[in-house]
Amino acid sequence: MFVLGIDPGLSVTGYGLLRSGYPPMGVAAGVIRTDPDMTMTERLVELAEGLRQVLGDHQPDSVAIETVFTNRNRRTAMSVVRASGVAMLVAGEAGLPVTEYPPTQVKLAVAGDGAAGKREVMEMVSRILRLSEPPRPADVTDALAVALCHLRAAPLTGAISASPAGGAGR
C-alpha cells in the first residue's frame, strides 16, 4: 500500500508519502504554503494545485487526512476545514479513497497514547521510519503520522469490511 498522509492547513499543509513494509518506507514529504496576502479563493486554488502536483508526481493508492480538532479559535478551525475539503476534492478527482483520522487516533497509532504531545509523536515518527533526524516542520511530522496511522488501521478496517457481517453484531 502506498499512502499520502495530509495535515491540512490554509497557510501550511503538510504531506507525507509512505509505502507499507517493515519498516514503512518514506517516499516524499514536504509542505504546501499559501500566501496570506492572497484572497481565500486564491489560496484554496493554490493549495489544490500543490496537492494535484504531489498526487501526479507520486500516484499513491489512498489518502489519509487528519480531521480538524476542536479549536477555540473559530477562524483557525474554518481555515483547516476548508483546506481539508480541498484535499478531499483533489483526492476524489484522482479517484482515490480518502480516510479521515482524528488527532487522538493518530497519536494512539503512532505513540501508543491518544494524548501524546507533539514531541512524543515526532520522536516516534522518527523511530518508526528510522530517520536520522526528526522531520521538519511539524506539519510534515503530522502528515507522516497520519500516513502511519492509515498503514496500521487500513488492514483491520479492510478485514472488518470484508467480513460477512461487515463487523456488525460482534
Residues carrying an active site annotation:
7, 66, 139
Question: Cell numbers at residue 169, please?
Answer: 453484531
Judged on CB neighbours under 10 Å (0-12, 13-18, 19+), 134 is middle
How much of the chain is in helix, strand and coil states, percent to nearest 5?
50, 20, 30
Report the alpha-carbon distance of residue 40 to residue 94 in Å, rounded.
Answer: 23
Contact 25, 151 (CB under 8 A): no
Q: How many CA atoms lie within 13 A of 34 on its CB side?
A: 26
Place of cell 488527532: 103
